[in-house]
Amino acid sequence: MFGVLRAVSLIFQSLKESGLMFFATFWALVLGFSLSGVIQSFFRKKEIEKKLGSGSAVCTLRASIFGFASSSCSYAASAMSKSIFQKGADFVSANVFMFASTNLVIELGIVMAILMGWQFLLAEFIGGAILIILFSIVGKIFFPKSQQAKIMEHLDKATNTKEDMLSDITEVDMLQTADRTFITKIKDAASYSLSDIRMLKYELLIGFLVAGLIAKAVPVSFWRSLFISNHGVYTDIENAAIGPIIATLSFVCSVGNIPLAAALYKDGISFSGVMSFVFADLITFPLLLIYRKFYGVSSAIKMYVSFYLVMAVTGELTKLIFAGLHLVPSNSSITINKTDFGFNYNFYLDLIFIVIFIATIILYLSSLKSKDSSKFAIDPICKMQVDKENAAATSIYLKKGYYFCSGKCKEQFDKNPERYAKGDSKSEIVAESQNKVSVTLSKKPH
C-alpha cells in the first residue's frame, strides 16, 4: 500500500511540475507559433526547388533561409526535405533545409530562453549556424553528387505517387491562389500556426510530461553515473557524445525536447552535452525509420553517422565559444519551475496570448468558409491542414485528390482509402481541379 501511495504521489508531483513548465511557457509558445505562421505565409516557397539545385555555398545559405521560414516540426521538416530533393534540389542542400527548419526557429528559441536562460537561446542560433556549416562540408563527403542519383532512384520507388498528374493538379491550385490579399495572408498565417501546433502536439505533450517526470523521479546520482564530470575537457567531449544518443532513443523532437533538455541540464549534464542533445532532434528513432524507407538502409546509416558527428561536434564547439566568452551558466542556475501559478506577470501574459490564440482560431475558421481555403486541404488521417503547394505526399482515390502532411499518413490512407475518404469535403475542391487538369491532359498530343 505504501508503494502505491508513493507512486501516486510521484505521478501527481510530476504532473504538477509539467503543468508549471507549461504555465511558464504558454505565452511564449503562442507568440513563437504566431510569428512562425506569419513568416511562412508572407515568405513564398514555390521557387525553393529552383534555387537549391546545386551544393554551392549560395545554395546552403538559401536552404538555411528557407528552413528558417519553414515549419519547426522534425517530421514535417523531413517530409519537406524529401519533397525538395525529389523536385531537383541537391541532397545536401535539402538536408541543410531540414537542419535550419528544426534549429533556427523562433518558438524553440523563446522556450529555451524561458526555461533555461538567454544564454541557451543565443547558443541555439550560434550552434545552429555552426551545425549547418559543418554539415555542408561533411555532407558532401558522405553524399557526393555521384551517389545522389541512386538515392533518388530508391526514393522514387518508395513514394510512387503519380507525380505528373499530381503536379498538374498543384499547378491549377497555384493559379487559383496566385494573387493573395493582405487579409488572405493573415488568414493563411493563422492556418500555418495551427498546423504547426497540430504537428507538434504530441511532441510537446511528451516533452513536458517526461521533463516533469525526470525532474521528480530521476535522482541526480543517475545522471552523474551516466555522464562523467569534473574531468575538464574529457567531460565536455563525453557528454557531447552521449547527448545525441539519448535523443536517438527518445521520441521527442523539436520544441518538445526543450523541457527535457532543461531537466537534463539541471540534473548534471554539461553545456556541450545538453546542446548536442537539443541539436539531435533529427536522429530520433522514428525519424531514422523514415529515412530508411525514403532513402534506403545504406543512406539512412550514412545520415545517422553524419548527423551524429556534426551534432556532437557542434555541441562541443558551442561550449568552447561560450566558455571563452564566460557565458556558460551553472547547472544550479536552472530552475525548471521558475514560477508558481498565481496572479503574476506570467499569468497576465498567458491571458493576453489566450485571446491571441482564440483570434487565430477564428481567423482559421474564417478562412475555411472563404474561397481562400482552396489553397489548403485537410489531411484525412491526422486532420492537419496541409498547404497543397507544399504537401509532403498526395494520392488519388475515385478520381479525387488527397493531400498529406507526411508519407506516413499517405501510407495509412492507401491501405484503406474508403474508410478515410468518407466525408472529406476538401477533396471536392481537389476533384474540381483534377477535372480541369484531365481536360487539359486530354488535349495534349500523344
391 or 142, which is more confident: 142
* Higher pLDDT, residue 300 or 42: 300
Give the side-chain half-sphere CA count within 13 A for 346: 17
Number of other CB atoms surrounding residue 440 within 10 Å: 12
pLDDT-based confidence at 151, cuts 50/70/90? Answer: very high
Q: How confident is the model at residue 73 (pLDDT cuts 50, 70, 90)?
A: low
In a domain, 269, yes or no: yes
Evaluate whether residue 325 is within a structural domain: yes
* Total tally of structural domains belonging to the chain: 1
pLDDT tens digits along 206-232: 777 877 787 788 775 676 677 777 777
pLDDT, position 357: 93
pLDDT of 280 above 50: yes
Tell me, yes or no, whether 163 lies in a domain.
no
Task: Report residue 314 as a C-alpha cell.
Answer: 557542434
Which residues have C-beta within 8 Å of that of residue 292, sequence separation ≥ 6? 300
- Alpha carbon distance 121, 114 (integer Å): 9
Tell me the three state secondary structure of residue 18: helix
Range of weakest confidence among 217-221, 306-310, 311-315:
217-221
pLDDT confidence band for 164 (50 / 70 / 90): very low
80 belongs to a structural domain: yes
Q: Regarding predicted confidence, which is higher, 374 or 93?
A: 93
Q: Residue holding cell 488535349?
A: 443
Q: Centre a 10 Å sphere on the Cβ of residue 399 and count the other Cβ atoms it contains.
A: 11
**DSSP H/E element including 147:** helix 145-159
Statement: residue 308 has pLDDT above 90: yes
51 lies in a domain? yes
90: helix, strand or coil: coil
Q: Distance of CA 45 to CAs 231, 335, 388, Å? A: 48, 40, 12
How many residues are recorded in the chain? 446
Flag whether 175 is in a domain.
no
User: pTM for the complete prediction?
Assistant: 0.64
- Position 171 scores a pLDDT of 36
Q: What is the pLDDT of residue 320?
A: 94
Give the domain range for residue 240: 2-144+181-336+360-366
Question: Mean pLDDT, to the nearest integer, of 85-92?
Answer: 83
SS3 sequence of 166-235: HHHHHHHHHHHCCCCCHHHHHHHHHHHHHHHHHHHHHHHHHHHHHHHHHHHHCCHHHHHHHCCCCCCHHH
Residue with cell 555552426: 130
Whether residue 403 is contained in a domain is answered as no
* pLDDT, tens only, 283-300: 877 788 878 888 999 999
55 assigned to some structural domain: yes
